[in-house]
Structure 1
């Protein structure tokens, strides 16, 4: 029976991924290889997929390219692979970094594999505020986990426990790259001590 591999580069909760994986799994057994730097996100992604009986989930805690290398080394059949790079993650790269990164990704794939890349358009201020101040605290948890990774792997000294959930972001500026069309928004919020913290 035909099989399919799906690798999610930065799976998060897996809600976007599920839509795609569920559609594929309706036609063939599917293995999802979920990559994320957050162990909590990987657990949530596995839970999101837990009722899909035709989907097997394998997790890799780490960054994109080491995860793809691990997958390359573990693929023992000729089943096709679909790589997912959703959530506009590509827009977090500088323009000059995008082509080399995608070249590295392609080098870890086989002929016949494919990649699906998601990118945002310009969002309204209301949408941006809702994203960064979501009621479930997902963005705050993501940001704190990123700082935990810095502390653990790079010797940082961020006091994670002292960080409070942010609210009341104020619009500062919007930037659009002329070559790629990717947009980025700079927001700031007053800190408790009256200083201003920038957030991208």
Structure 2
């Protein structure tokens, strides 16, 4: 672990680098395309272009999750702060939208803020910006993969422990994986630690599918950019004109699925290997599980969390839950 401070800010910023293992793009892509049902990890979306496209998705009129969660945080931030406990040690899993965490920090005023992210550069820039905005806040930025076990670098039990996991990122995990992740979060928080987590709700199919098939085609470009990235970085020979974006709600699994569909029989070379595609065959690129409030509470309960409070928007599109760890 490496820890350092940033002397340019009024309050110290400590950087703790757990050196998360970088993904081997070539190995992951070749393994995924070699499966009987081709599949690629959604984390491969986020090269520089993919990250820009996702930011654009969050501004789309069809994409309700980001603006709805922010509205819930703004409306109920004071009550959330009372639940989590002021002067807390606050861990944020995935240092994402700075707007969301700013809303929570203003209401909560924690003693210590600990963002956790796998991207060192993004993490440091975000931590520095927040430290400048909140000059009394002690910031410990942790470069780690929160989907794998890790320990907090500060063994401080003088403050109540709380965690923030926004964006319905829990939905990108299969339910069994989500349960395992929540168990690890519970271990970090300890007994009576509290978790504030955003969860997208099951709703009518049309509303869900519009959110992933926007009229401007930004989500389609985001999905197709995965093939462009493979072409750029792995000498891939994907002809993007022979693939199309497909996203639909799988009611049986309770999830949105995103795919890249081959429009014809074709062979594609990637990193020196050749992969056969049949017409209509897809590459499964992402799942986004949706929950009912009761269904998510059941999942959290299996992981040792009890629900304390849930907040939703008037249309019941999205939910933010306060859970207490009571294993």
The DSSP-based 3-state class of the residue aligned with 2:199 is coil
The correspondence for 2:171, drawn from 84, 87, 91, is 91
Q: Which residue matches 1:3?
A: 87
Q: Which residue matches 1:154?
A: none
RMSD: 4.0
1:46 and 2:138 matched:
no
Q: Which residue matches 1:37?
A: 118
Aligned length: 173
1:133 and 2:218 matched:
yes
Report if aligned partners of 1:30, 1:55 keep a CA contact under 8 Å in 2.
yes
Tell me how far 1:6 sits from its aligned partner: 0.7
The DSSP-based 3-state class of the residue aligned with 1:118 is strand
Note the alpha carbon deviations across 1:144-175, whole angstroms, 9 max, x for none: xxx9xxxxxxxxx9954879xx9x96334322
CA–CA distance in 2 between the matches of 1:60 and 1:85?
15
Q: Which residue matches 2:285?
A: 199
1:81 and 2:166 matched:
no
TM-score (norm 2): 0.42
Structure 1 pair 102–16 and aligned structure 2 pair: CA distance change class (3 A): same
Unaligned runs of 5+ in 1: 148-156
Q: Which residue matches 2:144?
A: 62
The DSSP-based 3-state class of the residue aligned with 1:119 is strand
Note the alpha carbon deviations across 1:46-95, whole angstroms, 9 max, x for none: 244131223232211111166751x2x51334101111111111112212
Report if aligned partners of 1:37, 1:62 keep a CA contact under 8 Å in 2.
yes
Spell out structure 1 runs of 4+ moving beyond 6 A: 193-196
The DSSP-based 3-state class of the residue aligned with 1:64 is coil
Structure 1 pair 79–162 and aligned structure 2 pair: CA distance change class (3 A): farther
Structure 1 pair 129–162 and aligned structure 2 pair: CA distance change class (3 A): farther
Max Rg structure: 2
**Higher mean C-alpha displacement, 93-102 vs 33-42:** 93-102
Higher RCO, 1 or 2 (CA under 8 Å, sep at least 6)? Answer: 2
Report if aligned partners of 2:162, 2:193 keep a CA contact under 8 Å in 1.
yes
Structure 1 pair 33–174 and aligned structure 2 pair: CA distance change class (3 A): same
